Structure 1
Amino acid sequence: MKDYMEMDAIGLSELVKKKEVKPIELVESAIDRSKQVNPLINAVIIEMFDEARSLAESYDLSSPFAGVPFLMKDLEFFAGAPYTGGSRLLKDFLCPTDSVLSSRLRRSGLIIIGKTNTCELGIQPITEPELYGPTRNPWNLSLTAGGSSGGSAAAVAAGIVPMAHASDGGGSIRIPASCCGIFGMKISRGRNPRNPDTFGLGVSHCVSKSVRDSAALLDATHGTGLGDPYIAPSPSQSFIKEVTTNPGRLRIGFLTTTFDGKPIDPDCRDAVVDAAKLCTDLGHHVEEASPAVNVEAFTKAFTVLWYQMVTLGIASLPALVGKEASVEHFERLTWEIGQAGAKYTGVETLTAMSYMQQLAGTMARFFTDYDLLLTPTLSKPPVKIGELVYKGDLEEYSRLANGWVPYTPLANATGIPAMNVPLYWNDDNLPIGVQFFAPYGDEATLFRLAGQLEEARPWAGRMPAFTKTP
């Protein structure tokens, strides 16, 4: 299809519903594009092309995304498809059933053409698993696409699909969206089904070319599943309507340092200043402000919970394949984090959880004075492939990784929604994302502002040139 890469998912579905194109034409366009660019970026690691062609022969025109090609991150169960989570342990495992989210994605009319690369168990801000190799940034192939949803973000940025599944436990939607110059909404805790959900840190949604695609997909998937531990407030209207609803005059606080006042890369600072000016020009009240985050206490608490999630993964995943967990099944970083997490006591876990609840209160109080908080998404531009690969010192690795992503985990710890918006490119033509946080359950305000920003400064037409080689 000639104009395939220029359109978002809603636009493609509208063509199907008007019978101007057939789903098989869209599927073949996605497959052709994947064959063209995936050898360069390594975003799609499991091809499901024949299955997609078969699904394209039968479709429901009443579904919101009828016939649109889609990619699943390799951290979600999808019946009949491989599931590896980037780990050698699961390299031969086939999903016996759908997750609740996957079943809703099927019902939305999306056609899954494959699964995307992720770091092992989704625990890093980069996508460089030993099992599949690194996913490269379409804007500069020597740089990371971010993680853990790096494969999905790179695939969208490179035009393979207009939208792809992504998940976020510490920034894994927003980090790669920033690196790859696309839109990424980390939704509220409990907005989409996710069971089990250890400590409430993780959510699953998507990365997308357009704001309206993200909103429409959330309309199709939101709502808790049976047994889910959290329930987000019901939306007052559809999320897709919010995209074209006037946000009014918002009170936006912004900061150009880390939460503890440390300086960041000038490109990331300039991106925030630029976004703040754009918001001011659009009529919003914008001023410097920051919530009172004790960074040392937050980092300690988040580390306890994050490490214990890895410990739980190492303990529980072997049951899927009937093997005992051992060091040869996992990357060194994963295994060492799992070992470290096993040493925390129950009191330390409860203390960390209690701190997160206190921090949620801190953010709620901040949002009595402001509607949104604007920060950089990252502290510096995308890092080089290999720069954050584990070299054997867990403390040093954590310092480097946390230093690059000091902002995003706040939303996961407190359950609030946050979005990466691609408004700024630096002098090297690299996207530098900015992040907006909103109160718990208030995706509506984020979608309203995002729609306004997208109209004021469209980004969908910007495409990487693939001119730089590894």
Structure 2
Amino acid sequence: MDVAESVAESVAESLARIAEADPRLCAFLEVWEDAAPVPDGSELPLYGLPFAVKGRAGLRSYAARKLVEAGAVPVGATSVPGPGTYWQTWGLGARGRTLNPYRRDLTPGGSSAGSAVAVAAGMVPLATGSDGAGSVRIPAAWCGVFGLRTTRGLLPSPDRTGLATAGVLGRSAAELEAYLGCVVEGYEAAGVLPGRAVWSPDLGFAAGPDLDEEVVGIARAAAERLFRLEEPPGFALLDPKEEWFAIRGGSAPGVVARENAARLAELFTGVRVLATPTTPFRPHGHEGPGGRFSTSLTWAFNVSGHPAVSVPAGFTEDGCPVGLQLVSDFGTEGLLAGVAASVPPWTPNGTNSPR
């Protein structure tokens, strides 16, 4: 089999997997059954790689265009929250509500819901996303995949507030590296990886009854497999909740953004990575999160503009995926992807398998 036949088969397999799994999981708004690699693209770095884009407008995004230029093949547009859906919630595909592939009674997270589900269920190896409060990292955590949000301003974004940046979801760190290598001009992979990280279970403000001890424990254990953890006394960020809403409403970043940026700058002079749980609790049901905020550990970095990645950490006793969030200094996506490469993709077994 020559290269062209091999990549055509890869795209066909992706489309077949979508046809088999999407009626159950509702990850897609549109599927492009006629998707095919360009005939003369064998020299392109991502030649024939099937990928999905977030939402119907996703194919027009800068990142998607760069992936296509690199030879990747878009096979469909993934689900996002439906009209009138409360902003913290899930996704609505062409066939109905998007379901978590590990626990179909629970949400996959959002707003890059379909992208995370499509990757987790093996429909595509890579999907684009965008992250304005945790919209890549939260579904990555709750679907057991890798999800990276980029530094503010690194890539073009239609979000004038600056909160949302482009991101990617992948089945492993290799997909994150492939994305960054093709969409970030001058991208360089990480060199020597850090042996230390600062651990914070709550960033100093998210403690309380919504902080699930089992989730925190699983995330910490995953961090301990990667780093020698430090917990500097007194490290805390300010709660960004009110300022996030103010910025989303059109206000300029204020005291919280400046103070948190200063605290993170000081932190990153001594250590290169901050580790936290990606979410404070496990996935909620399809009725919604109630008054809880799944974003409480993610949106501080949308306000500050730092890059962050969620990597698979393990599973709760009741079969819910848990994510570990890693944050680093501005422009250090290569560092995060390099650390993520030390995290093996979760190998499904028994009940811990996408269905």
Question: TM-score w.r.t. structure 1 length?
Answer: 0.69
Structure 1 residue 367 and structure 2 residue 348: aligned?
no
Q: How does 1:34-433 map to 2 (within 5 A)?
A: 34-50=18-34, 52=35, 55-56=36-37, 58-74=39-55, 76-78=57-59, 98-120=60-82, 124-129=87-92, 133-194=96-157, 196-223=158-185, 235=187, 238-239=188-189, 242=190, 245-250=191-196, 252-257=197-202, 259-260=204-205, 262-263=207-208, 264-280=211-227, 284-287=228-231, 291-295=235-239, 298-308=240-250, 349-350=251-252, 352-353=253-254, 355-388=256-289, 399-400=291-292, 402=293, 404-433=294-323
Residue 384 of structure 1: how far off its partner (Å): 0.9
In structure 2, the gaps of 5 or more residues are: none
Residue 130 of structure 1: how far off its partner (Å): 9.2
- The answer to which of 105-114 and 266-275 deviates more is 266-275
AA at the equivalent of 1:362: R
Q: Distance in 2 between matches of 1:123 and 1:208?
A: 26
Q: Distance in 1 between matches of 2:324 and 2:287?
A: 24
Say which SS state the counterpart of residue 379 (structure 1) adopts: coil
Say which SS state the counterpart of residue 200 (structure 1) adopts: coil
Residue 173 of structure 1: how far off its partner (Å): 0.7
Q: Distance in 2 between matches of 1:255 and 1:459?
A: 24
Q: Distance in 1 between matches of 2:166 and 2:71?
A: 18
- The answer to which of 201-210 and 169-178 deviates more is 201-210
Say which SS state the counterpart of residue 382 (structure 1) adopts: coil
Say which SS state the counterpart of residue 411 (structure 1) adopts: helix
Say which SS state the counterpart of residue 31 (structure 1) adopts: helix
Q: 1:165 to 1:276 in 2, by over 3 A?
A: closer
Q: Distance in 1 between matches of 2:266 and 2:171?
A: 33
Structure 1 residue 459 and structure 2 residue 349: aligned?
no
Say which SS state the counterpart of residue 433 (structure 1) adopts: strand
Of 19, 22, 33, the match for 2:6: 22
Match of 1:227 in 2: none
Q: Percent identity?
A: 26
The structure in which a higher percent of residues are strand is: 2
Q: Deviations over 1:47-105 (max 9, x none)?
A: 1112x0xx335241121110111111106353xxxxxxxxxxxxxxxxxxx34333212
In structure 1, the gaps of 5 or more residues are: 1-15, 79-97, 224-233, 309-348, 389-396
Residue 31 of structure 1: how far off its partner (Å): 1.3
AA at the equivalent of 1:207: L
AA at the equivalent of 2:156: P
Q: Distance in 2 between matches of 1:155 and 1:438?
A: 27
**RMSD (CA atoms):** 2.5
Bigger Rg, which one: 1
AA at the equivalent of 2:242: K
Q: 1:20 to 1:75 in 2, by over 3 A?
A: closer
Of 318, 326, 330, the match for 1:436: 326
Contact 1:76 1:102 in 2 (8 A): no
Q: Distance in 2 between matches of 1:57 and 1:74?
A: 23
The structure in which a higher percent of residues are helix is: 1
Contact 2:219 2:322 in 1 (8 A): no
Residue 448 of structure 1: how far off its partner (Å): 2.4
